[in-house]
Amino acid sequence: MDEGEMMEAYGDGNGVPALFLSDGDVQCYQNQLWELLKELTYGFTMGDSSSLPVETANELVKSAVFCIGLYLKSRGESLAHYAPIAPGTVAKLFSGGRQTVFDQIERGKAQWQAAIDTAPPVDSISYWDTLREIGGFFRRYDAKYLAHEIPCAIDYPLCHAVPERYGIAYVREYLRRLQLENALCARFSIDSVRQLLACHWPTYREDLINICEPVFINAMGLCLIGKDVFSLSMTGTDKTDLFARFGSWSADAAKQHMQNALHRLLDALGLHGGCAHSYFAHSANDLFVRMASLGFDGFFNLFVTLDG
Amino acid sequence: MEGFSLAPLDALRLQTVNELRACNDVTLGFGLYLSERQMQNIAQRRWETLIDMGRVELGEGLLTMLVLSFCDSPFIDQNNYEDTLIALVDLFYAFKAESMERLADDELIAFMKERFDGVCQGSLTCLYDSVLWGLCHEDKDDG
């Protein structure tokens, strides 16, 4: 659930739902949200306190709205579906939302385990620290009162960062993308991957370097010139060849060649399915933009020649 | 996401007045009684204190707890009842913040009452210093 969707549930940040609700429905929604907040406060303070700092109350509201938004999204609905807002609507949506969060936690745990199981055996500190942190997330995550928070440090950079999201939704999307990247890297020999990383960025173990991106770039380069993608190594001659070819294509032709290469690459790697194609189509587009903007030297350095 | 708006003033005012009105039945036995005007004034001051302190009042019963805890104090009489109650509400919310929410409402009120009637001998200024000192030393004792 991204911020736009959360705002659709929460509104303009002042408890006022956006769009499609009448003034009367807005008032009903606010009143019911207020009643929900009173219940949450009682639970959060274990009945010990009748008042809260505004900041804490805000966080409880954000959490509740996150849950409601997650529930609506899971059902393909919006608040407008519930207009006019009947008594008990917000409580019902929140209850559904809380259950959705709990369900997502279980799925997230399974995704996390799968990410560990499929992780490329590359000694990247940030990669493994991040996986450990995500394990800690499931211990620290307060699904009842602070479901919008992400109590862990996720430093390892993906090929494509998760757009701003909240709570378990962010973590699940991060793990989904990580698994796609793992799947791509797993198609190549680990020695080739390690060698490529070492040639691409000698201090990759210590630095925040994405493992999948240089693998994908080289594989695409090889695919574009019709060479064996599994070698993972672009020689100087290969780079010169690719530069010449790319330079001779019109923009439209280059995009078409990139799309075709992507299809061939994913087919060769046995990565079928819309999710992989969609994700790596994004990578292919990014690669196209970089290739189109680079001169020969930059182009040459974009692809990696494996030593030996 | 900007700050969540505080409880609607009307609802809080009504809640406060209702609680105080119910308390009158008990406090009358101690010679203490609030008029409607005084109750409205306390409600307004409470609202202002919440805004100043950056707090939101979400539960019920706080005023009742305060009144019933302090109504038997030898240092509160009909002349100073309204002002003392207003001051106690102010101090309560200030102490909640100072204790970083670690003290439950009833614990804090009991602590305040014990100090008010004891070492402070009814002085609100002393109560402020004394409770703060107590909270700080509780911090140190907790390590």
Q: Looking at this predicted complex, what is its ipTM?
A: 0.87
Per-residue pLDDT at A14: 42
Per-residue pLDDT at B7: 52
What is the pLDDT confidence band of residue B100, given thresholds at 50, 70 and 90?
Answer: confident
Per-residue pLDDT at B125: 93
User: Which residue in B53, B35, B44 sits closest to B10, CA to CA?
Assistant: B44
Per-residue pLDDT at A12: 41
User: Which residue in A146, A137, A198 sits closest to A171, CA to CA?
Assistant: A137
| DSSP structural state of residue A161 | P
Q: Is the pLDDT of residue B137 over 90?
A: no
Q: Which residues are registered as beta bridge partners of B56?
A: A52
Q: Give the other-Cβ count within 10 Å of A228's Cβ.
A: 11
- The H or E element that residue A81 is part of is none
Most A-contacting residue of B10, B49, B56 (CB-CB within 10 A), to test interface:
B56
The pTM score is: 0.87
Q: In B, which residues are within 8 Å of A58 by CB distance?
A: 1, 3-4
Per-residue pLDDT at A6: 53
- Which residues of chain A are under the pLDDT cut of 50? 1-4, 10-18
Per-residue pLDDT at B41: 95
Q: Is the pLDDT of residue B139 over 90?
A: no
User: Which residue in B2, B114, B66 sits closest to A10, CA to CA?
Assistant: B2
**Which candidate from B7, B97, B105 shows the least CB-CB separation from A48?**
B105
CA of A139 to nearest chain B CA: how many angstroms apart? 23
CA distances for A284 relative to A29, A196, A214, A280, angstroms: 45, 19, 12, 6
Q: In A, which residues are within 8 Å of B51 by CB distance?
A: none
Report how far residue B89's alpha carbon sits from residue A50's, in angstroms, rounded to the nearest whole number.
Answer: 13
What is the pLDDT confidence band of residue B3, given thresholds at 50, 70 and 90?
Answer: very low
Q: Which residues contact A203 (CB under 8 A, 6 or more apart)?
A: none
CA of B33 to nearest chain A CA: how many angstroms apart? 25
Q: Which residues contact A253 (CB under 8 A, 6 or more apart)?
A: none
Q: Token pair for residue A242?
A: 């690719």
CA distances for A203 relative to A96, A132, A244, angstroms: 47, 21, 31
Q: Is-cis flag, bond preceding A120, omega within 30? A: no
Say yes or no for a CB contact (<8 Å) between B101 and A52.
Answer: yes
**Which candidate from B1, B55, B106 shows the least CB-CB separation from A54?**
B55
Say yes or no for a CB contact (<8 Å) between B4 and A45.
Answer: no
**Contact residues of A toward B, CB < 8 A:** 10, 13-15, 34, 37-38, 41-42, 45, 48-58, 61-62
Say yes or no for a CB contact (<8 Å) between A15 and B105.
Answer: no
Write the pLDDT tens digit of every residue in B54-97: 999 988 889 999 999 999 999 999 999 999 999 999 999 999 98
- What is the number of residues in chain A? 308
Say yes or no for a CB contact (<8 Å) between A50 and B104.
Answer: no
Residue A2 is which amino acid? D
Q: Which residues are registered as beta bridge partners of A165?
A: A2
Q: Token pair for residue A111?
A: 């995704």
Report how far residue A134's alpha carbon sits from residue A128's, in angstroms, rounded to the nearest whole number.
Answer: 10
Per-residue pLDDT at B2: 40
Q: Is A57 exposed, middle or buried (0-12, 13-18, 19+ CB in 10 A)?
A: buried
